[in-house]
Homo-oligomer: A and B are copies of this chain.
Amino acid sequence: MILEIASIEILAHKHDEFEGAIKFAVETVLSTAKGFNSFQLQHGIENPNMYTLLIHWETLEDHTVGFREGPLYPLWRSHIEAFFAGKPEVFHWSQVFAIKA
């Protein structure tokens, strides 16, 4: 399992519309992708125009090849990119360890 962390600046005063659009896009597009495991949308406290997407994929290639180079990607982007105020910054991470209280 790998974690995609994507940071996106969204147009001011478009937060509610963006949140509705990305929820629809996750439910109808992203969650149908091979290797999709989970999605979280996080909203910035210090920077209210910033959102972070935390997406778990079974493998790195499920995201970078299967999803990014497949037919779902343009559909996914079409739902959300009108709200972007800048280019998303995307990196991938592998978990070293986790601890729960």
Contact = CB atoms under 8 A, between A and B. Distances in A.
A54 B99 CA distance: 11
- Contact residues of A: prevailing secondary structure: strand
Greatest chain B CB density within 10 A among A19, A26, A36, A99 is at A99
Given A5-B52, A52-B5, A46 B92 contact: yes
Contacts of A2: 45
Interface residues of A, number: 36
A40 B2 CA distance: 13
Contacts of A44: 91-93
A98 interface: yes
Interface in A80-100: 91-100
